[in-house]
Amino acid sequence: MFDIRHNLPLRIAIIVVLVTTSFVVLRYSAPHRLVPGEKITLRLAEALPEHNPVTIAMRRFAALVNEKTNGAVTVRIHSSAQFGQESEAIEQVQLGIIDFTRVNSVVVANVSPSMGVFTLPYIFRNFEHKYKVLDGKPGDQVRADLNKVGLIGFDYMDAGSRCFYTRDKEIKSLADLKGLKIRVQPSHITIRMIELMGAIPTPMNYGEVYSALSTGIVDGAENDYVSYSTSGHYEVAPFYVEDNHLSPPAILLMNQDRFNSLAAEYQQAIQEAAQEAAYYEREIMTQANLEAKQLMLAAKVSISSIDSAPFRAAVEPIYAEFPAYASLIQQIDSTE
């Protein structure tokens, strides 16, 4: 057998190749620091369709970035889940395959656990309280935790208030939920909430819900008016009850290494554009939900209000089941 230990020239040659290869790998795997004036294109994954208010806001974000960088930075929007569902898009941002994704905080909590505090049922007293929390210290603290998992989080956006809708009967009380199979997002908190309410949580991807409702695989689901309307779920689940059990925000995420590779002026432009787009999104999402409700009334959907006190009481134990959130919950409760 040939033994390279006794062939000094060959050993030297192999060492040179290995060192050179290592240098090349390190050179091209390290973030490239972009300088002012260098034109770049960044990719943003959005799971929702073109006409959704969130996607419209992301297009506003892209336009603002381009404007604030004098055309040097282009953000290309890939809507309608071209890069997969939200959980898949987050993973691709972490890996640096894409640069941005806009996602619901329910999904983000699976990656950065502190985000889950905003997905607790009835955590916000009202819309005003919600954004005092999100734009204040609790929101800043939760966003900072994203850095630990390779992400940058920008200003929070609105994802509406989630309510129940069912295919066969109206929910008039907590007892009416008992034993019903309710589709939920794949989140431990949401699953536990449904269990405490006496229903059967059925996690599944958003794109599967219409078929599951129409065939009876699930008895109901929960979402805001915009998603209920644009998804066509009202066609197969025409009973909607305004219980507003969840109001989780949405958030724009970016790969941390990619952000750090940008020139300081580009970083500032992206942060400013993200904030302006987030405030714009909150406005148009509120209006879109009001308009969607009117469309649902015109479509003869049964819409009812309900006393949420029994629902709040039923899910109260969930707060004690997540002791890691105790400090944040206290901050949220004390926010005026």
Domain map of the chain by residue range? 40-159+248-291, 162-247+300-334
**Backbone angles phi and psi of 236, in degrees to 5:** -115, -5
Crossing angle of helices 326-334 and 137-145, in 10° steps, is 150
Task: List all residues 6 or more positions away from 94 whose beta carbon is below 8 Å from its beta carbon.
Answer: 111, 149, 150, 151, 255
- pLDDT tens digit sequence for 95-112: 999 999 999 999 999 999
Q: Report the pLDDT value the prediction gives residue 206, as an integer from 0 to 100.
A: 85
- Distance from C-alpha of 169 to C-alpha of 176, rounded to nearest angstrom: 9
The reply to whether 40-159+248-291 and 162-247+300-334 are identical in fold is: yes
pLDDT at residue number 37: 60
DSSP readout, 187-237? -HHHHHHHHHTTSEEEE--GGGHHHHHHHTS-SEEEE-HHHHHHTTGGGT-
Distances (CA, A) of 161 to 241, 271, 310: 12, 26, 18
* Four-way CATH pick for 162-247+300-334: 3.40.720.10, 3.30.465.10, 3.50.50.60, 3.40.190.170: 3.40.190.170
User: What is the model's pLDDT at position 33?
Assistant: 54
The token pair at 112 is 């950065």
Amino acid present at 5: R
Place of tokens 């006409």: 51
Sorting pLDDT into bands at 50, 70 and 90, what band is 207?
confident
- Compute the distance between CA of residue 254 and CA of residue 273 in angstroms, rounded to an integer: 13
Stated pTM of the model: 0.84
Q: Cite the beta strand spans of the chain per DSSP E.
A: 40-46, 73-78, 100-104, 151-157, 162-166, 181-184, 200-203, 220-223, 239-246, 250-255, 302-305
Is the pLDDT at 178 greater than 60, yes or no?
yes
Domain 40-159+248-291 indexed as CATH 1.10.8.420: no
